[in-house]
Every structure is written in structure tokens, then in C-alpha cells.
């Protein structure tokens, strides 16, 4: 994507849940994430596959993870927005029940939430923005009565691992080969 300029150090960010009518912004940010150099080891889906999805897909995704989905929704997406309205980061949380299979086909051993779709535009990294996004996601899980959050991170994605550790996630010791290669499971008590 062109047109990005390094933001001023004074840039302020708002972290909030998405709204159902913001499906276009959700799509744009997802496509930007899938263009990132780390995308092949960070996201299950390719840019080409996501770009080919019809508007109805994005509308449904937005509705299901938005404020309008209600307090008992099965997912919630959070976004970081600059003070000029630019969407720069996101993370979503999927509610999991013990015994269910997750998106990798692995059995969920303990109910909680699974953090997915984490992305922050490179120009905004190193400012604590993703820490705030992950905090909002885990706060929502806590409000839902969950006692833990978990995520998978590629074994070679040291930058993401450091980010998750700053936000309180710790490796469980579980490793497996997933859709994108060697993965590490990390959890955070809520």
C-alpha cells in the first residue's frame, strides 16, 4: 500500500470494538495485513483468497464480531484507530468451549478465548499500540467470564512472540505443525 507516512510520535490511538457497518474498513485492514512481509507465517489465508471474497463475506464477518452482535457473541474484533481516523491495527478473539475443535483442528482442552488475526501496521509498531489492542481483547474475554486466553504463533516469528510476552502471554510448551508450519501455543490467565 502506498501513501503511508511515518506517523508523528504524538499520534494518539483509540482502541475499540468494530461496528457492523465498518466491513469495508475491516476488509481494507485485513488485506493490508495479508500484504505484510510476515503474513505467510502469521495468517492462514492468503491475500489473493481474501481479496476474492465477496462483500457479503466481509459484511457477515463484521456483523458476527461487532458490538451489534451483542454481549454473547462468539467473537469480537478490536481495532486501533489513529486520531485522524486511520485504521492501523487489529486483533480478534474467538470464544472456545472445551471439547470443540479449533481452526487448526486441535481439541480445545479448556474453555476460554483464542486470539487471532493480530496485525499492526509497521509504521505504528514499538509504541505500545498492540499491547492496548490485546488488553482490550482480553478484557472482553474476562467480562465474558473466561479465565484464559490463548493464541498460536509461528515458531520463527520472534517479533510476535515478544509482543505477546509483553502482553502477559506465556508459552505452554505445546508445539505442533499447523497450516503455516511450526507453531507455539501461548496462554494468558485472565
Provide the number of structural domains found in the chain. 1
Is residue 126's pLDDT more than 50? Answer: yes
Q: Would residue 182 count as lying in a domain? A: no
Residue 127 is predicted with a pLDDT of 93
Is residue 150's pLDDT more than 60? Answer: yes
Domain CATH number, residue 37: 3.40.630.30
- Domain with 102, as residue range(s), is 13-146
Average pLDDT over residues 53-82: 97
> What distance in Å separates the CA atoms of residue 97 and residue 150, rounded to the nearest whole number?
12
pLDDT digits (tens, 9 = 90+) for 99-122: 999 999 999 999 999 999 999 999
Q: Would residue 183 count as lying in a domain? A: no
Average pLDDT over residues 159-172: 97
Q: Would residue 151 count as lying in a domain? A: no
Q: Provide the sign of the torsion angle of the four alpha carbons 36, 162, 112, 106, taken in this order.
A: positive
Q: Would residue 94 count as lying in a domain? A: yes
Q: Would residue 78 count as lying in a domain? A: yes
Q: Where are the alpha helices (DSSP H) in the chain?
A: 23-33, 39-42, 47-51, 55-64, 129-143, 158-166
Q: Would residue 159 count as lying in a domain? A: no
Residue 119 is predicted with a pLDDT of 97
With a pLDDT cut of 90, the percent of the chain lying above it is: 93
Q: Are strands 75-82 and 13-17 parallel, antiparallel or unpaired?
A: antiparallel
SS3 of residue 12 by DSSP: coil
Residue 160 is predicted with a pLDDT of 96
Residue 71 is predicted with a pLDDT of 87
pLDDT digits (tens, 9 = 90+) for 9-63: 668 999 999 999 999 999 999 999 999 999 999 999 999 999 999 999 999 999 9
Give the DSSP letter of residue 100. -
Is residue 1's pLDDT more than 50? Answer: no
Q: Would residue 176 count as lying in a domain? A: no
What average pLDDT does the chain have? Answer: 94
Query: pLDDT tier at 8 (50, 70, 90 boundaries)?
Result: low
Q: Would residue 29 count as lying in a domain? A: yes
Amino acid at each position: 500500500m502506498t501513501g503511508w507516512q511515518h506517523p508523528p510520535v504524538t499520534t494518539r490511538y483509540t482502541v475499540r470494538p468494530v461496528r457492523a457497518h465498518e466491513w469495508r474498513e475491516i476488509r481494507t485492514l485485513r488485506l493490508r495485513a495479508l500484504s505484510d512481509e510476515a503474513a505467510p507465517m502469521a495468517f492462514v489465508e492468503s491475500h489473493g483468497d481474501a481479496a476474492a471474497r465477496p462483500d457479503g463475506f466481509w459484511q457477515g464477518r463484521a456483523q458476527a464480531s461487532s458490538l451489534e452482535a451483542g454481549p454473547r457473541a462468539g467473537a469480537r474484533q478490536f481495532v486501533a484507530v489513529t486520531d485522524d481516523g486511520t485504521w492501523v491495527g487489529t486483533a480478534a478473539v474467538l470464544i472456545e468451549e472445551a471439547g470443540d475443535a479449533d481452526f487448526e483442528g486441535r481439541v480445545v482442552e479448556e474453555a476460554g478465548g483464542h486470539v487471532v488475526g493480530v496485525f499492526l501496521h509497521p509504521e505504528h509498531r514499538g509504541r505500545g499500540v498492540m499491547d492496548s489492542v490485546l488488553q482490550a481483547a482480553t478484557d472482553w474475554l474476562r467480562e465474558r467470564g473466561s479465565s484464559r486466553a490463548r493464541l498460536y504463533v509461528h515458531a520463527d516469528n520472534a517479533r510476535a512472540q515478544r509482543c505477546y510476552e509483553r502482553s502477559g502471554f506465556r508459552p505452554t510448551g505445546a508445539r505442533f505443525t499447523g497450516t503455516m508450519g511450526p507453531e507455539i501455543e501461548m496462554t494468558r490467565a485472565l
